[in-house]
Each structure stands twice: as C-alpha cells, then as structure tokens.
Amino acid sequence: MPRVKRGTSHLKKRKKLLKKVKGYKWGRKKLIRLAKTAVLKAGVHSYVDRKKKKRNFRALWQIKISAFVRQHELSYSKFINVLKINNIALDRKVLSELAVNHPDILAKIVMQVKK
C-alpha cells in the first residue's frame, strides 16, 4: 500500500481556520492554537446573540408601543389586553411600526378599542 502524506490537507485546514480569524486582535489572528479557541468562542457568542437579538427587538417594540399608548391615556398592558379581548390580531412589530411611521392609524385603533 502506498504511503499517504497529509501535508496538503493539514495546510488547507489551517488556512481555512486563519481565514475565519482574519481581523481578530493580537495572536488570535495568526497563531493556530489561539485561533482555534477564538473561532469556537466566536461561534458560541454568535449563536447566543442571535437569540438575544430577538429579545432586544421585542423589548424595543414594547417601549415604542407603550410610549405611544401613554399619550392616549392607556397603559401598555391594558392596551394589549383590550386588543386581545377585541380579537385584533396585530403583533407588536406591526404595532410599533404603526406608532413610529403611521401614528394616525394607530390612534384610530386606540380610539376603537378604548370605547
């Protein structure tokens, strides 16, 4: 059986790793051992932060809706409750967009559910 030399595949693997860490600080951009851990940690952080991003956006939507609804003498929780009671199925993302870009439309909705 012929001998197999693995230099090319080894080099390819390291080049791929170093390409991922391009732009990192200190030795993590050029030292293999440090680059491996940097890539692992970066992957973990990116996964976690994708989940956090959803949380942060939902909180932002709630703040925008709350700020708008307070101008019309309602609290956020009461407004959401009244929407559910009246079977108005608008999610928080849409409501916040209406609050920012189309306040007259959301004001009509608020007056409708306030009755």
Q: Where are the domains of the chain?
A: 11-114
Residue 69: which region, alpha, beta or left (left: phi > 0; alpha: psi -120 to 50)? Answer: alpha
pLDDT of residue 64: 98
**Using an 8 Å Cβ cutoff, are 93 and 60 in contact?**
no
Model pTM score: 0.76
pLDDT of residue 5: 87
Residue-wise DSSP of 58-100: HHHHHHHHHHHHHTTT--HHHHHHHHHHTT----HHHHHHHHH
CA–CA distance, 17 with 28 (Å, rounded to integer) = 11
pLDDT of residue 38: 98
Superfamily of domain 11-114: Ribosomal protein L20, C-terminal domain (1.10.1900.20)
CA–CA distance, 98 with 56 (Å, rounded to integer) = 19
* pLDDT tens, per residue, the chain with 115 residues: 898 888 999 999 999 999 999 999 999 999 999 999 999 999 999 999 999 999 999 999 999 999 999 999 999 999 999 999 999 999 999 999 999 999 999 999 999 998 7
pLDDT of residue 15: 96
